[in-house]
Amino acid sequence: MYGPNHHGWIEVVVGPMYSGKSEELIRRLRRAQIAKQKVIVFKHSIDDRYSAKDVVSHNGNKIKAINISNAEDIYNYIQEDVDVVGIDEVQFFDDNIVDVATDLANRGKRVIVAGLDMDFRGEPFGPTPKLMAVAEFVDKLSAICMICGSPAHRTQRLINGKPAKYSDPIVLVGAAESYEARCRLHHEVPK
């Protein structure tokens, strides 16, 4: 993918929920494995939607991953012979993930991160914007808007079937919460 002088780099895959970020991350990591490269995969432990231990896409594709909650935990697992480092749900880490990804790339690793670029309010999410700034490659994926079928770049948060308000707390005990992909026109965040 890159030039003749072997050095590391950062790839970022972003988009709303259901845009295929995990699918794309898994695809790139599998191809690296086919090329006999040593691959290691991490995901933030807050995301346990299907399996505590794997990166799993909404269509059921999966790859083994290590659950961590701090960016620095990555160093406990990285050996010199690792070629490719994958990180899913990168938006949940703090800004230290930017330094860790940069350090790994500087040490010759290919670093592939995937995550949400915007939160349910449509605002930049955690460290993702900074990672996009320092990365060599950025791919912004779209899903399909569940209202009109257009390309969707935003994630609609629904609480008991209604659009979540801007000020609604992130953790709502006892409420039925769901998310769907929406385009700009149909993304609703009541004040």
Binding segment for ligand ADP (CB under 6 A), chosen from 1-9, 12-20, 105-113, 160-168, is 12-20
What lies within 8 Å, CB to CB, of 178 at 6+ separation is 157, 158, 161
Spatial distance between the Cα atoms of 62 and 53, rounded to a whole number of angstroms: 10
**Which residues does residue 162 pair with via DSSP β-bridges, in sequence order?**
159
Spatial distance between the Cα atoms of 12 and 136, rounded to a whole number of angstroms: 8
Task: Tell me the backbone φ, ψ of residue 112, rounded to 5 degrees.
Answer: -120, 115
Spatial distance between the Cα atoms of 191 and 182, rounded to a whole number of angstroms: 18
Q: Is 123 a catalytic residue?
A: no
Q: Which residue, 138 or 146, is less far from ligand ADP as judged by CB?
A: 146
- The answer to the question of residue 89 lying near ligand ADP (CB under 6 A) is no
Residue pair 77/66 in contact by the 8 Å Cβ criterion: yes
Site for ligand ADP in 138-157 (CB under 6 A): 143-144, 146
Task: In angstroms, give the least distance from the CB of 50 to ligand ADP.
Answer: 9
- The answer to the question of residue 121 lying near ligand ADP (CB under 6 A) is no
Binding flags for ligand ADP, 39-78, as an x/- string (CB under 6 A): ------------------xxx-------------------
Task: In angstroms, give the least distance from the CB of 29 to ligand ADP.
Answer: 13
Q: Which residue, 24 or 39, is less far from ligand ADP as judged by CB?
A: 24
Q: Which residue, 14 or 189, is less far from ligand ADP as judged by CB?
A: 14
Spatial distance between the Cα atoms of 55 and 62, rounded to a whole number of angstroms: 5
**Catalytic residue, candidates 23, 24, 89, 180:** 89
- The answer to the question of residue 181 lying near ligand ADP (CB under 6 A) is yes
Spatial distance between the Cα atoms of 98 and 120, rounded to a whole number of angstroms: 22
Using the structure block, give the residue that is written with the tokens 């992909």.
181
Q: List residues with catalytic annotation.
A: 89
Binding site for ligand ADP (CB under 6 A): 15, 17-23, 57-59, 143-144, 146, 181
